[in-house]
Amino acid sequence: MPNPTAAMLVIGDEILSGRTRDSNLNHLAGRLTEVGIDLVEARVVSDKTEAIVGAVNDLRAKVDHVFTSGGIGPTHDDITADCIAESFGVGIDVRDDARELLEAHYARSGSEVTEARLRMARIPDGATLIENPVSVAPGFTIGNVHVMAGVPNVFEAMVASVLPTLTGGTPLLSQSLRVLRGEGDIAGPLRALSEEYSDLSFGSYPFQKDGAYGSNIVVRGTDSERLSEAMVKLTDLFGA
C-alpha cells in the first residue's frame, strides 16, 4: 500500500513579505518522513479569506492530510479558523471546552480572559481540539485538515500532539554520497543507475566548500536493502 499523503498550507502576510522566516515546513517535513506520511505539496498564502478557503478546499481534496500553520491567534487578522469553517460549510463560535482551557490558564497567571483572547476559543462545529502544552490555546482538526499555530515552538508541540493519532506508512530512508565532480560529469551514469533502481529516488545537489566543488548525491527509498545495494554501485561509479 502506498504511504498516506500530506500537504502543508502556510498562512500569513508576514511570510510572504519576508519579515518572518518560516521554519515550520522544515519541521513538519522531517516528522512526516519519520512516520511514513509523504509530504507532496506546500503552499504559502496571504491573510485573505478567498486565498485561504480556496487553498484549503483544493488541497484537502487531493491529499490524505492537510496541515496549516498561522492565523489562529487573538488579533483581528487571525482569520484562519473562520476560513476553515467556511471551507467546510459549518458554523463557528466560542466552544466551552476551549474556553475552559483558556480560563484556567489565564487564572493561573492572574490575567483576564479578554474578548480578544476568547477569539482563540472559537472552534468550527464538529472539530476536535489539538492539544497545546506550550500556550494552552488549542488548534483543531476537522475532516482531514489539522489547523495549528504559526509560532514555531507551539506549532511543533501541536504536531507532536497530532501525529500519534494518524496512521502512517513506511518511513522514507536516505543515504548520501559526496563526490568532487560537477553535475555535468555525473549526469549520464546517475541517470542510468536511477533507471536500474526505479523504485528509489536519486537527487543531485551541487556544493562548494573550502574551494572545492562537487555534488552531493542523495538516494531515498523505503527498502533498506535496495538502498544499500544502490549505494554500493554509486560508490563504485564515483568513489567516496
Tell me, what's the pLDDT at 3?
93
For the chain, 240 residues long, give each residue's pLDDT as a single digit of tens.
789 999 999 999 999 999 999 999 999 999 999 999 999 999 999 999 999 999 999 999 999 999 999 999 999 999 999 999 999 999 999 999 999 999 999 999 899 899 999 999 999 999 999 999 999 999 999 999 999 999 999 999 999 999 999 999 999 999 999 999 989 999 999 999 999 999 999 999 999 888 889 999 999 999 999 999 999 999 999 876
**Can you list the domains of the chain with their CATH numbers?**
5-165 (3.40.980.10), 173-238 (3.30.70.600)
Tell me, what's the pLDDT at 102?
95
Tell me, what's the pLDDT at 239?
78
**Ramachandran sector of residue 173 (left: φ over 0; alpha: ψ -120 to 50; beta: rest):** beta
With CA atoms as reference, report the closest residue to 96 among 127, 123, 61: 123
Tell me, what's the pLDDT at 1?
79
Tell me, what's the pLDDT at 240?
61
Q: Is the overall model pTM greater than 0.85, yes or no?
A: yes
